[in-house]
Every structure is written in C-alpha cells, then in structure tokens.
Amino acid sequence: MNGLYLVIVSALVFVLAYRFYGAFIAAKVLTLNQYKVTPAFRFEDGHDYVPTNKYVVFGHHFAAIAGAGPLVGPVIAAQFGYLPGALWILIGGVLAGAVHDMVILFASMRYDGKSIAEIAKAQIGDKIGLATSFAVLFLNILAMAGMAVVVVNALHDSPWGTFTIGMTIPIAILVGLYLQFLRPGKIQEATIIGVVLVLLAVVVGPSVQASPTLAPIFTISARGVSIALILYGFIAAALPVWLLLAPRDYLSTYMKIGTIGALALGIIIVGPSVEMPAVTQFCAGGGPVITGPVLPYIFITIACGAISGFHCMISTGTTPKMLMNERSILPVGYGAMLTESFVGMMALIAACALQPADYFAINSTAAHFQALGMQVVDLPMLNQMVGEDVAHRPGGAVSLAVGMAHIFSRIPGLDHLMNYWYHFCIMFEALFIMTIIDAGTRVGRYMFQELIGRVWPKFGDPHWLPGGIIASALVSGAWGYIVLQGSLSTIWPIFGVSNQLLAIITLAISSVVICSMGKARYVWVTGFPWAVLTVVIFWADFLNMFEIYLPQGEMLMFTVSAIMAILVIIISVASLKKCMYLAKTVPASYDTTATVEAEELKHLEQLVAQQDDEGARARRFKELTIAHH
C-alpha cells in the first residue's frame, strides 16, 4: 500500500473532526465565552499568569504535550502491523485525546488556572482532591524521568545535537526579551528572528561536530547531560514563563511542525510503500518488541498521539495561565492534540516504510531477532549510508530516524544526504522531547506548591518567589535522582499504564464538570472514552501485574501499579456518583453561545467602568483580546 493514502485519510479525518466535532463541543457542550475575562488577566503577575499571544500559546502547548510519545509509541506499535496503530491514532485522537485536552483546559480556565487536583477538590471533595494530587504528582515525576533518559540517550557524546539543542536556550531568552521589552506585541518580527537563528544552529551543527576545537566542548557524557537537564528543568520552572519556557517551546514548534510537514511532503513526493503488513503474527502476543497481545497493549503503547494523561498537566498547568481568550480553547486544546495525532501517523508511516525484517532487526535484541529466523534486506546498505551500525537498538527512536532519513534521501537530489538526515532526525527527536522537561517540571512545581499549600498556605501562593524556587528544586531533583541512579529501567515499564490511568482520572473529573454545568445530556462526550479506557487500561494493568511483574519478582513495579490502580478506582467511583447526583439535581442548561456572550458582554462593560484594579484588568482584557477574536 502507498503511504500517501494514510497521509490523505489522516488529514481529512482530522480537519473534519476539528471543523465539526471540535466546534460542536465548543458551542454546545462548553459554550465558550469570548467576553469572559481569563485568569491570565485576572491574576496577571508577569511570572506565571501572563497574557500571551494565542499562536505563542499554541506553540508552547503543542511543544509541551508532544514529547516522545507520538514519535516512539507508533514506531514500537508497528510490530502489530500498520492497521491497529493507524485506527487507534485516528479514532483515539478525535474521540478521546482531543476531547480530554480541550475539556480539562476549559475546566482549569474556569477554576482560575488551577490544577486538576484543585478542580477535583472543588467539584467532588477534599479527599478526592488529595488523592488526585498524589496521583498526578507521582506520574509527573515518572514522566519527567522517562523523558529525560530519552534525551540523555539521544544527546550524550553527540556534539551536533547538544550544540543545536543548547543554542535554543539563549535564542529563546533573546526572543522573550525582544517581545517583553524591545518590541512588545511584535510577534512576527520575533518569530522571524528566532526561527532564522534556530535554523542557523541546525545548519552549523555539522561544522561543530567536525571542529577539533568545538567538538570536545559539546561532547558530553551521559551523566553530564543528565546533570545539565536537571539544572535546565529547575531554571525553566523558576524563571518567568515569558523569558524562557514560552518562547523556547514556541520556536521548537516551528521545527517540529516544519519537520513533520516536510516528512508529509516527502511521503507525497516519494510515495513510499508501506512494507509492514496490515496485521502481523505478533498481534496474538510474543512479539520481539512488545511481548503482549495487540489488545490491550496497543492502548498503552500509543499514548501521546491518541490520548495521554500527561496532557492534563499542561492543560491545567501553564496553558490556562497564558490564554487570553476562551475562544482559543478550541485551536489550542482540540487542535494541538489533532496536530500531535498527525505527527504520530507520520511516525507510523516512516517506520512501516522499512522492510519488516529490517524494522525488527533494529527494534529487537540480537538474540530475539535470531529467534525470528528473518534475514535483513536493506539494513547493510542503510548502515553504510548513515555511517553507523543501527541494528539491535530498540526503543523506537533509531528506527524512526532511519525511516525518516530513508524517505528524505529518496527525494530527487537529496540521495547523498542520508547521513545528514539521520543525525538531523535524531536531534529532532531530542528537541521534541526536551520541551516536556521544562513545561513538565514547571507544572510539577505548581502541583507541589498546591499540595504543600494545604498545610502551609503561604507555600501554596504561586506568586511567592521562595516557594516557587524551592518547589522547582525539589521536583527537578526528584526526577533527576531517578535518572542519575539509573533505576528508570524498573519504572519505565509502568509509565505507559500510569499515563493512561491519569487520562481516566482526567476524563472522570471532566465528566463531573460537564454535569455541574447542567449539560448532563452531553456527558457522553467524555463518558464514552472514560468507559472504554477504563476497561482496556485496567486489563493491561492486570496483565502487567500478574503475568509479568509478580512472576518475575518485580515487587516495586507491582506495588506502584497497585497503588495507582486503587487511586484511580477511588476517584472514578466518586466521580461517577457525583455525575449521577448532579444529573438529578442541577437544572438542565440550554444556553447558547449567543445568549451567554450577550450576558457576559454586559458584565464586562460593568467591569470596564470600575475605577479599581479589577476594572483596569478588564479594560486591558478588552483592549488586547476582543478586537482579535
């Protein structure tokens, strides 16, 4: 089958879903209100709550949610064939992932930019809020450690990648200062400057790698890269959001979307054949990459790209504190997730364009591959073209880079650049993942401050600088300790399940929010993916616990999985009871966007007339946003 067919089908599905289903949720379920003053203005402090251009917020949000998942997950899932992964990305992205991100982002904005734990506390009760706090913070630390290790593996002893990734930091700071002080509001000028500098860093990278003077400076060991990442996570979480985190994520998005767009264009030009069959013999289990069967393991193998619980940390962390208008919830919440799903589909096509034997040779150990009885086809030639042996390097990142480079090199005139494309793709993957480190650590800081704020209210104040610095240090130190100790190999296998358990929590609480608005008739929007995900993820968790962890004596993983499952059950049951109660007691609301906006516009004019701080914030909101929406 020609890979172009999957590109066309994916693009059509996602565009139609955004135009109709996303718009339906925005207008009928959430009833977004463009005249409602957002938390970014009401609590503006120049540090965390910062009104930010919607395109910059989209860039930050997309960069923060799109880490390793949409790149690596679909590549690993290719062992089942192209069809299971493609169906889960299309269906899951539209009906589950984008809904998950959009609704919880809306809820956070209506709750002053607070975390999902605070929303649970307000909607269901203090005990459920506390259980949610522990579950989310625990997963955040696991996620940061997992993402950091992937970055370390991609950048250690790689001067090209280290130089390019490192240069995005001072470039982002320059863009942040440019927009804040030199030319406020001139987003186009700042974008041109930043993108040109980032592309220059990419182009100069090979020269740095070949330089006898510069190469040793940027050739850093795995431990050195780990320490650098910990320091970066701390600094990015503690600094004002406009100075480093937002501009860096925004600029990274251009490279991310640009590269994926180039890959889609390459697929259109080259028309690569999808060599992997629709389904393989490993759907029943016993595969060399994933030992379990396609059901239920496809649902935890492809998380980001279909649905990911980690996204709720961004949707209730940095993004709601930056959005200037509720109308932007649709493109940022729903649109960014569909963009990520498209990234996942491109990664799946790139992996499936390899010969099956070559794919399995790259993604399995030597012993496992030998047991398959397969003979490599193009792998010796690919090794020669990229300049290194890529066999038996499991994890998905290498095979994705080889697949992308193989497609790029088949474009007329670019066939001699296979080595360049391979190393560029490795660097690109590291850049993709790096953006999770800064945003995730900052969100962890928010959650930790909220948790400690329960017993020490001053610490929970996001505007109190010492609390922010201490929380940033503790969160970055927690995931950094796991990375430095090298114990991630015992924790990474449960990350996929834990991530999706958090998605169940998010969908449960989102369902409560919808019912509390008098929209119980629309609860199926979140209730359907909540129910489906509960069945398949608990199924996968059960298989992990009793067929893998317990027989192998992995009691740490068994215990952590059990704790996470119990927390999810407690929160889900409480949410279900609350939904049933609200459906009976809250009068049904049939408000339309027109009616709520007409009422809110009157309220906004009243606020604007006030001669106090609240009036000043309302006037600033009206001046900066109403004319642009």
Give the domain ranges of the chain: 3-157+220-585, 593-628
Residue 284: pLDDT above 80? yes
Residue 620, class by beta-carbon neighbours within 10 Å (0-12 exposed, 13-18 middle, 19+ buried)?
A: middle
Q: Single out the residue of 57, 414, 158, 416 nearest to residue 262, CA to CA.
A: 414
Q: Single out the residue of 323, 305, 290, 414 nearest to residue 61, CA to CA.
A: 323
User: What is the 8-class DSSP label of residue 33?
Assistant: -
Give CA–CA dist 166/226, Å, rounded: 13
- Region 580-593: mean pLDDT is 93
Specify the pLDDT at position 389. 76
Residue 629: pLDDT above 60? no
Q: Are 275 and 61 in contact (CB under 8 A)?
A: no
CATH 1.20.1740.10 fits 3-157+220-585, yes or no: yes
Specify the pLDDT at position 592. 85
Specify the pLDDT at position 303. 83
CA angle, 444 then 173 then 46, to 5° = 60
Specify the pLDDT at position 489. 52
Alpha carbon 555 to its chain centroid, in Å, reads 29
Percent of the chain whose pLDDT exceeds 70: 96
Specify the pLDDT at position 93. 96
The model's pTM: 0.86
What mean pLDDT, rounded, does the chain reach?
87
Residue 578, class by beta-carbon neighbours within 10 Å (0-12 exposed, 13-18 middle, 19+ buried)?
A: buried
Residue 6: pLDDT above 60? yes
Most confidently predicted of 18-32, 63-77, 290-304, 423-437 = 18-32
Q: Are 446 and 320 in contact (CB under 8 A)?
A: no
Specify the pLDDT at position 519. 96
Which band of pLDDT confidence, cut at 50, 70 and 90, is reported for residue 26? very high
Give CA–CA dist 453/462, Å, rounded: 10
Q: Which two tokens stand for residue 56?
A: 């910059």
Specify the pLDDT at position 30. 95
Q: Which two tokens stand for residue 61?
A: 């949000």
- Region 422-435: mean pLDDT is 72
* Helix (H) or strand (E) segment spanning residue 620: helix 613-625
Specify the pLDDT at position 134. 86
Specify the pLDDT at position 56. 86
Q: Are 296 and 285 in contact (CB under 8 A)?
A: no
Specify the pLDDT at position 172. 87
Q: For 223-247, what is each residue's pLDDT tens digit?
A: 898 899 999 989 988 888 788 877 8
Q: For 356-393, what is each residue's pLDDT tens digit?
A: 998 888 888 788 888 888 888 888 888 887 766 778 77
Q: Which two tokens stand for residue 217?
A: 């400076």
Helices in 417-517 by DSSP H: which ranges? 418-452, 465-485, 492-516
